[in-house]
Amino acid sequence: MLDSKESVRAVDQKDMLGSIEHLPQNLTDGLRRGRMSGLPRFVPKEVVVCGMGGSAIGGDLLREWLGLTSEVPCHVFRSYSLPAHVGKDSLVMVASYSGNTEESLSMFEDARKKRAKIVVVSSGGQLAKMCDSLSVPFARLPTGMMPRASLGYMFGAMLGILERSGISTVDKQVEEAIRVMNKATAYCKQSVPTTDNPAKMLAHELYACIPVIVGYELSSPVARRWANQLCENGKVLAFSSELPELDHNEIVGWAKDARSRNFALVFLEHDRRPSPMRKRVIATKDALGKSAPVYTVDALGLSPLAKMFSLVIIGDYASAYMGALRNEDPSSNEPIDDLKAALAKK
């Protein structure tokens, strides 16, 4: 089914696969938009990303990447308020693709009360109006996308904002990230047959299982992205886990609970050099392989950003193919829309 362009197009009505293919270009354009946000040069004591869902995952990636490249710490909050340490020396990036996410609007107001330096990343909505009225720096994204498909714009804009603040420079890593994403697309796009397409093959392998995506170090936030995309695009239950924490609790359940045979594990690998973590990854895969199927996806590239985004785009493709296999539009969002409607009534 996945090799039929007509069959896939009939299911993928809003062209999620097309959005995935444009991820490299979106990253470049997002970087430009972040650089144009209007944020004055300001080196903060911390970076704080506020958001939910597909708008917040860029913050998770940013936190991991910034921890490898800068001494300025980064925090991500998914809530209605911010902790007490956020203040006038904090750079708060409020990320909401729609601009109407109630939690993000609440965190925006809390950041104002705490006198933090605020910059908004959004396509419009209430946040855009608030930025206009309050003269808050604003990185405007294009409209018309699903929030989870806006990751390239979101993350790129955050990088551009960091450049404006004087925290980091990113050109070489972004260039490599674009190269490896284009390389991954060359063998994951829909026109490549299943026998030569790792994303399609993985979707088939995971079809009858509950996927658990395992990351470590820089692939930990990517594992969360994979799980989120499988839930939303693929319309399946999916979860993420992280090494080495998995080995200190979760491994017991895998070994002792007979229901583990209903799951499948996907390890997102990015460094095969000898190290304590490398030994742990190998030993953990061997141990868990006795209870459930284990698969491996390897990152491409050399820089942290390239490795992260090569894994991101492969996972995005696999999730869209999972939705197509289930005869579900990868872009549909009915349960989320229904919950929002129910909350509005309350």
CATH number for position 231? 3.40.50.10490
**How much is the pLDDT for 207?**
97
**How much is the pLDDT for 343?**
85
Distance in angstroms (rounded) separating the CA atoms of residues 16 and 317: 9
Instruction: Give residue 195's Cα distance to chain centre.
Output: 27
Task: Answer yes or no: is pLDDT of 14 > 80.
Answer: yes
**How much is the pLDDT for 141?**
98
List, as own/partner pairs, every contact residues 104-109 make where C-beta atoms lie below 8 angstroms and the sequence separation is at least 24, other chains included. 104/50, 104/51, 104/52, 104/55, 105/130, 106/80, 106/81, 107/50, 107/77, 107/79, 107/80, 107/81, 107/82, 108/50
Residues 43 and 164 in one domain: yes
What are the catalytic residues? 232, 248, 340
Residues 143 and 247 in one domain: no
Could you tell me the residue range of the domain that residue 115 belongs to?
A: 36-169
Output phi, psi for 4, to 5 deg: -95, 115
Which residue's entry shows tokens 């714009």?
A: 153
Q: Which amino acid is at 188?
A: C
pLDDT (average), residues 208-233: 98
Pick from 135, 169, 203: which residue ends a domain?
169
**How much is the pLDDT for 42?**
84
Residue 88 CB burial class (10 angstroms; 0-12, 13-18, ≥19): exposed
* Residue 308 maps to a domain: yes
With bands split at pLDDT 50, 70 and 90, how would you rate the model's confidence at 29? Answer: very high
* Residue 30 maps to a domain: no
Task: Answer yes or no: is pLDDT of 56 > 90.
Answer: yes
Residues 255 and 120 in one domain: no
Pick from 169, 195, 229: which residue ends a domain?
169
Residues 151 and 232 in one domain: no
**How much is the pLDDT for 283?**
98
More confident residue, 123 or 168: 123
Pick from 169, 200, 222: which residue ends a domain?
169
**How much is the pLDDT for 60?**
98
**How much is the pLDDT for 253?**
98
> For the segment 221-242, what is each residue's pLDDT rounded down to a tens digit?
999 999 999 999 999 999 999 9
* Residue 91 maps to a domain: yes
Distance in angstroms (rounded) separating the CA atoms of residues 219 and 272: 13
Task: Answer yes or no: is pLDDT of 111 > 80.
Answer: yes
Residues 123 and 222 in one domain: no
Task: Answer yes or no: is pLDDT of 346 > 80.
Answer: no
Distance in angstroms (rounded) separating the CA atoms of residues 163 and 66: 12
Residues 145 and 272 in one domain: no
Residues 89 and 142 in one domain: yes
Residues 212 and 101 in one domain: no
* Residue 11 maps to a domain: no
Task: Answer yes or no: is pLDDT of 114 > 80.
Answer: yes
How many structural domains compose the chain? 2
Residues 317 and 193 in one domain: yes
Residues 160 and 257 in one domain: no
**How much is the pLDDT for 344?**
83
Residues 185 and 128 in one domain: no
Distance in angstroms (rounded) separating the CA atoms of residues 311 and 225: 10
